A and B are shown apart, each in its own frame.
Chain A
């Protein structure tokens, strides 16, 4: 089979840009390998429902891990649901629970504010 010519990105200006970026966009690959392709019942049954939940969570995370890290989003690294390597933040030893709670509160509030801001921005386009 002859190798088809290089693909291109076509923009409205009529400008044609070379494409076929390597490596391909992770989102494009994931939607194909997770949702499409022939389903052959293997011996190892991993519930596809679990994978769907994963893609939903992924979509909440961000385009790619690297992009997310670059803009400082890394909370999934401490989310056991998303990372089997997740570890709780290192604590030097037993601490006064009240002090821990007092330190935690502003962080949680900041995180919630960030999330709300993101959701608002998200809804603006998708709503």
Chain B
């Protein structure tokens, strides 16, 4: 079972929900994994304090040109739809170095097409490091995290590789990036269910619509957790969810004690009894084959 905790709007409480569900499941003796796929801003480790057992650099294949064989024919440049390759013709009087290729890593999508179309087999691929994958344990809970290097533009490839490390037959909780772009799509891949965390503000509602559209596009059933449910006006949100037949699995109120625990980097349920009970009930609902949004 793979549950992806997403939100549309940032800061609604994805990590709060995801760390609690994963932690409580592991506490029940369930083989559980928490995977932090918010690779631009991974924060789950701050609350779970895992003992990291393995750390590995992640790399993408990037085209490189060993010196000397390029005929500067331009086939790679013509192929590349991302304008990531520039062919520099060599000087006519230097037959040993007839041409070279300039690769712009920040534009390359690593599709491998340029290498395929090179007629002289001059181009090849070499690893370009873009992030770190970390694995460890927080008590009985298995911890996985992707962390994009600062300056790298694309989160999706790192997220895809992170998710490949989730073992089969476990209860996996994936902490997704905010928004509804390609990074969130990557995090939703392979999900059995999405849990969308939102808040009763016009911002929360607007971005929830986008997140729900995305879930439907990738055919992942979605349910909602309403966080800080008493701050703002939840009527427009409830009306929308009713009309869209999206179930609300939990509504958590704003509690300064929860905010204070988050500010200390603690799992709030350890200090706040009502939250612990509410999170246990939410976990029951997530584990049960409940009615969920079937697109």
Q: Do A and B associate with each other?
A: no
- A interface residues (Cβ-Cβ under 8 A, vs B): none
- B interface residues (Cβ-Cβ under 8 A, vs A): none
